[in-house]
Amino acid sequence: MAKAYSATCAKMIYHLQGKLCAKKSSFVAIDTGGIWYKVFVSPRTITALADRAEIALYIETHWRKDNGPELYGFETERELELFQKLVSVSGVGPKSALGILSIASVDQAISAINEGKTDLLTRASGIGKKTAERIVLELKGKLAIVSSPQALNLMESDLELEDTLMSLGYTRAQAKTAIEKIDPKLTSFKDRLKAALKKNN
């Protein structure tokens, strides 16, 4: 059954839990006792959900004039909080914010922002140079989560790894999926490349 909690009003959905009924490239469908909710998620989340029968996601609702409410889902409250910060920046919509969470973990994204790495942020779909600069200007040093140089280094390495895999014939989606499955204990580029290649063999 769906669990609804109130943040600012009783009608806002804060959390959904139910059966994973469909998984597409940009969203999942959750059955909460006969009602299917369409929830947009990042590719990283889709990979993490794998083939789970039951899932639970924190929810942010956005209203569009043409389509009405859209639900965006996150595995953790930390992801939800970063998403909320990103969409507070002028020019950053929910799809663009989700794009940033598609290329980086929470720690990596915050580290990129705090270190002013706009070139990393522009790797996200919908994020141009000016928008990336605005994100850094408005959020740098203002995020509650402490940035991590190690997380930033890993993000830069994995973006290079993604390019390498694509040069070997992988699609971007295949490269991202392979990287997501790498043992986090592996830190060197060489070891992570070997592991990624094994994942798709």
Domains detected in the chain:
15-74 (2.40.50.140), 77-139 (1.10.150.20), 150-199 (no CATH)
pLDDT over 70 (residue 2): no
pLDDT over 60 (residue 147): no
pLDDT at 43: 85
Banded model confidence at residue 8, pLDDT cuts 50, 70, 90: very low
pLDDT over 50 (residue 7): no
Can you tell me the mean pLDDT for 73-97?
94
Specify which residues 74 forms β-bridges with.
58
- C-alpha angle 176/46/121, rounded to 5°? 50
pLDDT at 71: 94
Banded model confidence at residue 58, pLDDT cuts 50, 70, 90: very high
Q: Are strands 27-31 and 36-40 parallel, antiparallel or unpaired?
A: antiparallel
pLDDT over 90 (residue 60): yes
Q: How far is CA 121 from CA 7, 36, 156, 183, in A?
A: 29, 33, 11, 24
pLDDT tens-place string over residues 113-141: 988 989 889 988 889 999 999 999 999 98
pLDDT at 146: 58
More confident residue, 38 or 63: 38
More confident residue, 167 or 182: 167
Instruction: Please report where in the chains the tokens 């299917």 appear, as a residue.
Output: 36
Mean pLDDT estimate for the chain = 84
pLDDT at 145: 58
Instruction: Please report where in the chains the tokens 């000016």 appear, as a residue.
Output: 130
pLDDT at 10: 33
